[in-house]
């Protein structure tokens, strides 16, 4: 829609409020709302002011004034507000220079799309994420100077199979047995469908929904691919819908990669391809029907994966999922069909339009604007430098001998290690000024001080189990 059409759309829907959403640096949606009388065509150029010093990773207090500029193409009716509310996603600009803000994740994604076009390699990068998440009934957590704990619960959790529920009907999937059982074992068919229906109303094309592997309500809803920025916008609405539909039912949703011990974590396999002039460029006559360009793209992602991890797997909790020897794709190899490789080439269809790669190590805690942009930049670096991805690994990676595994590189084992890799390897992100040095430095400093060091300073509950009675003191 154009600005004029947005104003007319608001009147047609009897809007009372306009909600303006934007992305903070770590990856959480922020918002504020204004009465509909403030919705004039001028705000699409002049913007509305807010305090940038209150947003994580952004401005210092002495230069805190910022502007949000609504993107009219994102206008839609919010399905969760009591009063009719128009929702729009915004870009962030400096109020003095009116330049776009270099730490605005959406602007980073926009620059990545522009950089792709400038290379003449292609004109569109398509992304199709598959976010997994848990739908839970109860969550409690706290951290003080002398205590720390978390407690999760789900009516589906196998640990409740012996609980008195008057009656307990026993339909609770065992650990690692939640994939595809029909109701009543899958108790969340209807709530996932409600999520799907709300997403469809928002213009998000959904391909399927299903229960995932873990007990306790692990779920997956798959969206059809879209261009990079549009897909990141949709993923933010996706999370918004999942959380708010769950709240309607007195439940809660988490996109933490590893909320449960002893069961599968939540990943976000991300399908990617490059097109030009409406034609797919990843289809060819090479391995698994892929083009040379696609193989070089894979080479770039594999080469830079240890650095990408700091953005695609950006929490300390991410590395509770990325543990060698289990099912997570920690081994940096590619294969057709083999889901134990960190990059898979899906073989569902022989159509050239279906040719894509699936990067399997990202998780849904990431900031999608930055994660998609970073993976695209790594792939483009592979294309530019003709990076050879090596031979495919079509064996069961988890069945390889230690000698065979010795030659297969792996993902970092911690957020701290990933940040070290990003610090050492980020030149590919600076091309086209997509990521600025300031944005990368701020990301690394924020993650180290607010997350890595913050966790390192606090005792862990399991340390008491290990050491309280058995230490040498």
* From 156, 222, 358, 451, active-site residue: 358
Query: For helices 228-248 and 189-201, what crossing angle results, to 10°?
Result: 130
**Is residue 249 among the annotated active site residues?**
no
Active site residue 194: no
Catalytic residue from among 106, 304, 360, 426: 360
31 burial type by CB count under 10 A (0-12 exposed, 13-18 middle, 19+ buried) = middle
- Those residues whose C-beta lies under 8 Å from the C-beta of residue 148, and which sit 6 or more positions away, are 142, 458, 459, 460, 461
Catalytic (active site) residue 360: yes
Coil/strand/helix, residue 283: strand
Count, in order, helices (H) and strands (E) of the chain. 14, 18
Q: Which of 78, 132, 198, 222 is catalytic?
A: 132
HSE of 347 in the Cβ direction (CA atoms, 13 Å)? 9
Q: Which of 103, 192, 211, 269 is catalytic?
A: 269
Query: Is 224 marked active-site?
Result: no
- Told to judge if 451 belongs to the known catalytic residues of this protein, a careful annotator would answer no
Q: Respond yes or no: is residue 358 known to be catalytic.
A: yes
Count Cβ atoms below 10 Å from residue 89 Cβ, excluding itself: 23
207 given a catalytic annotation: no
Catalytic residue (choose from 31, 175, 339, 448): 339
The long-range contacts involving 198-206, CB below 8 angstroms and separated by at least 24 positions, are 198/79, 198/241, 198/245, 199/223, 199/237, 199/238, 199/241, 201/79, 202/76, 202/79, 202/237, 202/241, 203/76, 204/234, 204/237, 204/238
Catalytic one among 46, 51, 404, 463?
Answer: 51
- Residue 426 is a catalytic residue: no
**From CA 205, how far away is CA 227, in angstroms rounded?**
13
Packing angle of the helix pair 105-119, 228-248 (nearest 10 deg): 150
Catalytic annotation, pick one of 212, 233, 381, 416? 212
- Extract the tokens encoding 163: 């609980």
Under a CB-based contact definition with an 8 Å cutoff, are residues 76 and 20 in contact?
no
Q: What is the DSSP string of 203-253?
A: T--EEEEEE-SSTTTEEEEEEPPEEHHHHHHHHHHHHHHHHHHHHHTT-EE
Candidate list 78, 137, 156, 220, residue with the active-site label: 220
Is residue 19 among the annotated active site residues? no
Residues acting as catalytic residues: 51, 130, 132, 212, 220, 269, 339, 358, 360
């Amino acid at each position: 829609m154009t600005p004029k059409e947005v104003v007319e759309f608001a009147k047609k829907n009897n809007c009372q409020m306009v909600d303006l959403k934007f992305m903070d640096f770590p990856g959480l949606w922020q918002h504020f709302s204004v009465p509909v009388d403030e919705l004039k065509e001028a705000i699409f150029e002049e913007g509305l002011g807010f305090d940038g010093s209150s947003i994580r990773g952004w401005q210092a207090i002495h230069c805190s004034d910022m502007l949000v500029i609504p993107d009219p193409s994102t206008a839609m009716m919010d399905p969760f507000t009591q009063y009719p509310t128009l929702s729009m996603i915004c870009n962030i600009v400096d109020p003095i220079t009116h330049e776009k803000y270099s730490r605005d994740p959406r602007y980073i994604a926009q620059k990545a799309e522009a950089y792709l076009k400038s290379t003449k390699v292609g004109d569109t990068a398509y992304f199709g994420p598959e976010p997994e998440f848990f739908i839970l009934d109860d969550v409690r957590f706290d951290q003080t100077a002398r205590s720390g704990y978390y407690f999760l619960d789900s009516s589906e959790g196998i640990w409740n199979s012996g609980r008195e529920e008057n009656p307990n009907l026993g339909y609770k999937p065992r650990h690692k047995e939640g994939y595809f059982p029909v109701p009543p074992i899958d108790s969340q068919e209807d709530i996932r469908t409600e999520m799907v229906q709300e997403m469809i109303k928002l213009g998000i094309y959904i391909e399927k929904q299903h229960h995932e592997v873990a007990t306790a309500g692990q779920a997956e809803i798959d969206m059809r691919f879209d261009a990079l920025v549009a897909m990141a916008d949709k993923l933010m609405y996706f999370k918004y819908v999942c959380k708010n539909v769950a709240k309607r039912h007195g439940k809660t949703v988490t996109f933490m990669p590893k909320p449960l011990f002893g069961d599968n974590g939540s990943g976000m396999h991300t399908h990617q391809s490059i097109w030009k002039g409406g034609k797919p460029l990843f289809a060819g006559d090479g391995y698994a029907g892929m083009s040379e360009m696609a193989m070089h793209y894979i080479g770039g992602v594999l080469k830079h994966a240890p650095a990408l991890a700091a953005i695609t797997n950006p929490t300390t909790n991410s590395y509770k999922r990325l543990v060698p020897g289990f099912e997570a794709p920690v081994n940096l190899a590619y294969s057709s069909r083999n889901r134990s490789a960190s990059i898979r080439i899906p073989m569902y269809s022989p159509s050239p339009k279906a040719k894509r790669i699936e990067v399997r190590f990202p998780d849904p805690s990431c900031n999608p604007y930055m994660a998609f942009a970073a993976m695209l930049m790594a792939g483009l670096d592979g294309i530019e430098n003709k990076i050879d991805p090596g031979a495919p690994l079509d064996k069961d990676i988890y069945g390889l001998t230690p000698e065979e595994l010795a030659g297969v590189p792996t993902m970092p084992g911690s957020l701290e290690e990933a940040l070290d890799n990003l610090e050492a390897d980020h030149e590919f992100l600076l091309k086209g000024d997509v990521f600025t040095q300031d944005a990368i430095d701020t990301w690394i400093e924020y993650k180290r001080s607010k997350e890595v060091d913050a966790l390192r300073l606090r005792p862990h509950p399991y340390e008491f189990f290990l050491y309280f009675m058995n230490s040498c003191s």
